[in-house]
Amino acid sequence: MDQAVREWAGRAVRQRPEVLRIGYFGSYARGDWGVGSDLDMVVVVERSGQPFVRRGVEWDATDLPVPVDLLVYTRAEWGRMEREGRLARAPWRETVWVYVR
């Protein structure tokens, strides 16, 4: 799965210069995935004009081999979570970053 995510991230970064980070977390990052597991992914972008709940639908992840739950945060939102200490807790501390600008 890691290779598939890295290839997807490479394509996404070429198409979207606003991307700052791409990673995955959850069962695939921990290595305890099973039948029916989805892939939990996070993308951090410079900024977005869309509300948080709508951002993930703008990304096509259908070429990944399993269903994807994609969370897209802005730099400001990610920074706020970091300042609040939320990134030091699960699920974020287990994130496998495949792209970092």
Taken in order of first residue, the domains within the chain and their CATH numbers are 2-100 (3.30.460.10)
The pLDDT value given to residue 92: 84
Taking 80 as the threshold, does the pLDDT of residue 22 lie above it?
Answer: yes
Q: pLDDT tens, 41-56?
A: 999 999 999 999 999 9
- CA–CA gap between residue 48 and residue 38 (Å, rounded): 25
Q: Strand order in 39-45's β-sheet?
A: 68-74, 39-45, 19-25, 96-100
